[in-house]
């Protein structure tokens, strides 16, 4: 796997027609600085706005992947993204004078050729990876889709199976095991495809305005008489010379026996680019499509962001601990005797679980109470809100520049006393977040998550600049 980030050496352009919009489009790949990521720039819009290519900016998956920001959109980005990540490029600007990249021949080949023409430039900064350490599984029972990410030591592999219950395609498999050696020659040239019965639906939906036999493979999925087919050609405004063919419209010759499966792998690679980092791991996908790809990518993006903030603060990995006390001290402004969270053992964007070890050496036990040491309820609440503070700072950029002020405490109940030797298991969940105002619900358990509840309540907070 590569150690350093990469961009391209010089600009390079392509021109053509957008597949779904039918708009004329010129696309220019431009070099970008380290840690810039992949961004699409619309030069036909005022101030040339940029849209980061990540899952948070996906706004439509009806037929391809569309990203957008502040009302500005770019349609059908998956083939371009697949070419970029297939060439192992980390930082690049994709400049467009329209709202959709040119479809070219329906594959990623022309994009890859353009990137190779531009040349690859290595950058000084280290490459950031999402390392799969535990199995991640997406399952869609209705559509029989399964996508799994598995741990794989210092490598990336991806395997795809498709089964459309269609004799013209059958069940197809394919796999990529070395991007540098295989992507450009074995996968990038695989063209997009659809079924003939879909063409009418897509036309009625105002899509594939730029589609033609030169940029797509059309699979014949039912029997037609010659008269029926002639009527269909007129309705769909197809070229009169197009022939019904055997399995594939116009008898288009496949570039590979399993070209549709290879193109599905290209689509999946393009959608996985929306994680925002390359993957170290093995991806297995059965019957993938854009909707499933995006849901799976959301799971991996969440995992990546969690690992990213952990890497930022947690120097040494320690068992199942997300943050140890040294990492917490980098995040929190509190210090002795008022830092009341010892470690964080689990965290995602919505929930955090922390631990407060309670010992007889706590200074408050000297006066609360000498004959019967009990942890003050106000300090149990303080432990909970400090844990919530760590969660909230995880949701924002540059947390070191922010503070969390709690504004209200509601529905608080104390149920079990906490005494020396106990552990407080602190569970806080974010239920509302808008314009820097937040609401959380929390529970403090005695010694065991889900066990005896020591305290529970609801909290509101504001995130402010230091």
Q: What is the DSSP letter of 233?
A: H
- The answer to whether the beta carbons of residues 249 and 236 sit under 8 Å apart is no
- The answer to whether the beta carbons of residues 184 and 87 sit under 8 Å apart is yes
- The answer to whether the beta carbons of residues 248 and 218 sit under 8 Å apart is yes
In this structure, what token pair is assigned to residue 191? 């063209």
Peptide bond into 46 cis (omega under 30): no
- The answer to whether the beta carbons of residues 226 and 251 sit under 8 Å apart is no
Spatial distance between the Cα atoms of 465 and 396, rounded to a whole number of angstroms: 12
Q: Find, among 79, 66, 50, the residue nearest to 291 by Cα.
A: 66
Annotation marks residue 116 as catalytic: no
The catalytic residue among 116, 246, 290, 334 is 290
Annotation marks residue 75 as catalytic: no
Q: How many Cβ atoms sit within 10 Å of the Cβ of residue 311?
A: 12
Q: Find, among 367, 414, 393, 372, the residue nearest to 465 by Cα.
A: 393
Spatial distance between the Cα atoms of 60 and 205, rounded to a whole number of angstroms: 14
Question: Counting beta carbons within 10 angstroms of the beta carbon of residue 129, is it exposed (0 to 12), middle (13 to 18) or buried (19 or more)?
Answer: middle
Q: Within the chain, what is the greatest distance between any pair of CA atoms?
A: 97
Q: Which residues are known to be catalytic?
A: 290, 368
């Amino acid at each position: 796997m590569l150690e350093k980030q990469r961009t391209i050496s010089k600009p390079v352009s392509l021109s053509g027609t957008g597949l779904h919009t039918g708009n004329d489009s010129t696309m220019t790949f431009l070099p970008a600085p380290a840690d810039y990521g992949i961004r699409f720039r619309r030069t036909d819009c005022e101030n040339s706005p940029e849209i980061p290519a990540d899952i948070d900016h996906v706004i439509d998956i009806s037929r391809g992947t569309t990203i957008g920001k502040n009302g500005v959109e770019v349609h059908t980005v998956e083939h371009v993204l697949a070419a970029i990540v297939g060439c192992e490029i980390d930082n690049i600007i994709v400049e467009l004078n329209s709202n959709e990249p040119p479809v070219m021949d329906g594959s990623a080949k022309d994009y890859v050729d353009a990137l190779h023409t531009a040349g690859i430039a290595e950058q000084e900064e280290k490459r950031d990876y999402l390392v799969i350490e535990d199995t991640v599984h997406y399952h869609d029972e209705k559509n029989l889709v399964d996508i799994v990410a598995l741990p794989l030591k210092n490598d990336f592999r991806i395997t795809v199976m498709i089964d459309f219950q269609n004799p013209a395609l059958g069940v197809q498999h394919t796999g990529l095991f070395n991007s540098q050696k295989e992507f450009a020659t074995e996968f990038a040239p695989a063209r997009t495809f659809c079924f003939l019965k879909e063409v009418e639906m897509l036309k009625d939906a105002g899509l594939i305005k730029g589609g033609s036999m030169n940029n797509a493979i059309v699979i014949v999925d039912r029997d037609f008489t010659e008269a029926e087919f002639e009527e269909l050609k007129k309705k769909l405004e197809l070229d009169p010379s197009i022939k019904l063919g055997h399995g594939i419209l116009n008898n288009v010759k496949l570039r590979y026996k399993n070209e549709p499966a290879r193109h599905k792998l290209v689509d999946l690679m393009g959608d996985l680019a929306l994680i925002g980092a390359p993957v170290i791991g093995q991806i297995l996908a059965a019957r993938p499509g854009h909707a499933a790809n995006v849901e799976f990518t959301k799971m991996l993006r969440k995992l990546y962001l969690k690992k990213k903030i952990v890497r930022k603060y947690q120097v040494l990995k320690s068992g199942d601990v997300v943050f140890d006390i040294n990492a917490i001290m980098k995040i929190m402004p509190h210090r002795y005797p008022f830092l009341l969270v010892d470690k964080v053992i689990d965290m995602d964007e919505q929930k955090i679980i922390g631990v407060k070890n309670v010992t007889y050496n706590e200074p408050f036990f000297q006066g609360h109470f000498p004959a019967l040491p009990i942890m003050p309820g106000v300090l149990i609440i303080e432990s909970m809100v400090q844990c919530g503070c760590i969660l909230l700072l995880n949701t924002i950029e540059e947390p070191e520049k922010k503070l969390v002020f709690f504004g209200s405490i509601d529905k608080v109940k104390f149920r079990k006393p906490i005494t020396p030797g106990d552990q407080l298991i602190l569970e806080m969940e974010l239920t509302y977040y808008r314009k820097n105002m937040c609401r959380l619900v929390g529970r403090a358990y005695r010694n065991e998550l889900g066990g005896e509840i020591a305290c529970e309540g609801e909290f509101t907070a504001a995130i402010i600049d230091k």
